[in-house]
Amino acid sequence: MTPENRREFGARVAELRTQRGLTQKELAAEIGRTTSWLSQVERGVQPVNRIDVLRQLARSLGVEPHELRPDAPRTEEPGSAARSNDLDRVRFLLSGHPAPDALLATCPTEAEVSFPELRAGLDAVWALAHGGRMGELSESLSEIVPRLESLARTAPERERPQVYGLLARAYQAMAAAFVRQNEADAAWVAADRAIAAAEMSGRVLDVFAGTFRLAHACLRLKRYDQAEHVAQTAVNALARHVQAGAAEETPAVLSLLGSLHLVLAQVHARCGNRSAARGEVGRARRAAERLGEDRNDFNLEFGPTNVEIQAVSVAVDLGDAGEALHIGARLDASGLSAERQARLALDIGRAHAQLRHLEEALQSFLEAEQLAPETIQSHVAARSAIRDLMLIEGRAASPELRALAQRADAMS
Question: Under a CB-based contact definition with an 8 Å cutoff, are residues 335 and 294 in contact?
Answer: yes
Please give the Cα distance from 207 to 164 (Å, whole number). 12
Residues 249-285: pLDDT tens digits? 899 999 999 999 999 999 999 999 999 999 999 999 9
- Residue 108 clears pLDDT 60, i.e. is over it: no
Q: Higher model confidence: residue 7 or residue 79? A: 7
Residues 119-157: pLDDT tens digits? 999 999 999 888 878 888 888 998 999 889 988 988 899
Please give the Cα distance from 16 to 175 (Å, whole number). 29
Report CA torsion sign: 57, 61, 64, 69.
negative
- Residue 95 clears pLDDT 90, i.e. is over it: no
Average pLDDT, the chain: 87
Task: Give the type of residue at 231.
Answer: A
- Residue 228 clears pLDDT 90, i.e. is over it: yes
Question: Under a CB-based contact definition with an 8 Å cutoff, are residues 227 and 267 in contact?
Answer: yes
Residues 359-412: pLDDT tens digits? 999 999 999 988 887 777 777 788 888 888 888 888 888 999 988 888 887 765
